[in-house]
Structure 1
Amino acid sequence: MSDKIPEGNRSARERLAQQRERDKGREKRRRTLIVSSAVVGVLALAAVVGLIAANVGKDGDDTASGPAITPSGATGEASLTLPVGASDAPSTLTIWEDFRCPVCAQFENAFRDTITELVEAGQLKVDYHLATIIDGNLGGKGSLRAANAAACAQDVGKFAPYHDVLFRNQPPEPDDAFAKNSRLIELAGEVKGLDTPEFRSCVEEGTHDSWVQKSDTAFREGGFQGTPTALLNGESIFPKKGDEQISVENLKKWVLEANKGKKPGTATPSAAPAS
């Protein structure tokens, strides 16, 4: 008996195998689309939550007193901007955030690597602004305390890594864990060289509390819809830009389109002096 497969049967089997591979490819693309849509859906829902958060609890924490002590290296109008990246980068991403805001953490976790990549390539600089709307909505002082600690980190040129640590370790929204200075100092231990006596004193004394409240007032009076607010060269891109939903791919595309024909930034921000 011959072991050879008749030509007709072989062709049928090959066609069946090819069809199965095509089906697998379609299923993989379908799953990718579902996952991508789910991420976009979460961010879109998050934007709605942020919108609600911005319009409830308008009364912020009024406990800070005294003059607003500006963090070292702060720039912009009223010195309320904490800049990250080359000052001559061709595009600017302006972000308003609250360290207790879960939507902000979702935004950061989804886009942190992409933003860092664009910053390191000199394509983008980021202007961070801090708000404390969750304290006003739910009570507590975690937004204020965390923002003050972030400003203390800015004093020694370590705002960006500490900012990332805070969002990676954000407690559940109702949990005001960031109101404890001890927790903020503990997290500073994850940033090399940040946990110093000077930093601890700045955190515990609330050195930048009045500055944080000044920043929050600017947010509330700025007509923004919620946190996070993300503006690329002054145009809102969260949860979408025009008719396009924000995504990693679209963010890169929008920045590169805006930068077409422009040189990457090379100016190195001056190191902030120790407080």
Structure 2
Amino acid sequence: MPFLVLVLVAAAVGIGLLARGLVTSTVTGTATAMSDGTTPENVLADGAVRVGDDDAEVTVRVVMDLQCPACQKFEEANGSVLADVVRDGSAAVEYSVITFLDSMSETEYSSRAGNASFCVANSGLDNYQSWLSEMFVQQPVEGGEGLPDSTLIDIAESAGYTDSAVAECIINRQFDSYLRTKTDQVLRSGVTGTPTVYVNGAEVTDRRALMAPGGLASVIAAAR
């Protein structure tokens, strides 16, 4: 696959929301495959991790990069909302984790964290949202070394992913090629920034719904 050149608009503190009143700058980089393209279990054909009932009336899709500061803010504001709607069965959530922010760390943290997402999903989905929440709690600042693999393993284990295969997957970057292929597909579909959020296929563009505490709850309720 040819190198994928990403040209995305980013918030001043990192990648953010497009055309929503934020100060923006341009981020460029390349995505290159590093592993054998193994496909993880428990993911949709497009690479999203779906958590919740198959027949849920509402589907929320969140496109994110785990190095993205605006994604961290979204998780802080709405992570509990998404956990609640999955728990009560009123909605399912599809997490589309992509990678294009490797240039924002010294150790390719974006892709290592994205690979870890598939490692834990491959092991099971019951603890996925708890794992994701802690990943954002411990999100490293941009421009630094990023979290080491040992910390990624610790986060996975603390969320309940204690199988040694998960640790091996993180260290070996087992799903790196798969992650980059799915990133390419997501970006080619028209996604131009993160977080990008959809409720029943309609993009949520209201800033308060995305970033105010619990803001997404009313959007989900209106879609029922």
Q: TM-score band (shorter)? A: 0.7 to 0.9
Match of 1:186 in 2: 154
Determine if the alignment matches structure 1 residue 175 to structure 2 residue 147.
no
For 1:122 and 1:218, the matched residues in 2 are separated by 29
Determine if the alignment matches structure 1 residue 152 to structure 2 residue 149.
no
What is the DSSP-based 3-state SS (H/G/I as helix, E as strand, rest coil) of the residue aligned with 1:47?
A: coil
The unaligned stretches of length 5 or more in structure 1 are: 1-44, 260-275
Is this contact kept in 1: 2:121–2:128, CA < 8 A?
Answer: yes
Aligned 1:105-120 pairs, distance under 5 A: 105-120=72-87
Match of 2:27 in 1: 56
What amino acid maps onto 1:183 in structure 2? T
For 2:164 and 2:35, the matched residues in 1 are separated by 23
Using the size of structure 1 for normalisation, the TM-score is 0.67
Determine if the alignment matches structure 1 residue 216 to structure 2 residue 183.
yes
Determine if the alignment matches structure 1 residue 132 to structure 2 residue 71.
no
Q: CA deviation at 1:171?
A: 1.0
Percent identity, aligned pairs only?
Answer: 24
What is the DSSP-based 3-state SS (H/G/I as helix, E as strand, rest coil) of the residue aligned with 1:163?
A: helix
Match of 1:47 in 2: 17
For 1:141 and 1:63, the matched residues in 2 are separated by 12
Cα RMSD over matched residues?
2.5
Aligned 1:218-257 pairs, distance under 5 A: 218-240=185-207, 246=210, 247-248=212-213, 250-257=215-222
Residue among 39, 42, 49 paired with 1:73? 42
For 1:111 and 1:245, the matched residues in 2 are separated by 9
For 2:151 and 2:203, the matched residues in 1 are separated by 34
Aligned residue pairs, count: 205
> If each structure's strand is expressed as a fraction of its own residues, which one has the higher value?
2
Q: CA deviation at 1:220?
A: 2.0
Using the size of structure 2 for normalisation, the TM-score is 0.81
What is the DSSP-based 3-state SS (H/G/I as helix, E as strand, rest coil) of the residue aligned with 1:148?
A: helix
For 2:100 and 2:24, the matched residues in 1 are separated by 10
> If each structure's helix is expressed as a fraction of its own residues, which one has the higher value?
1
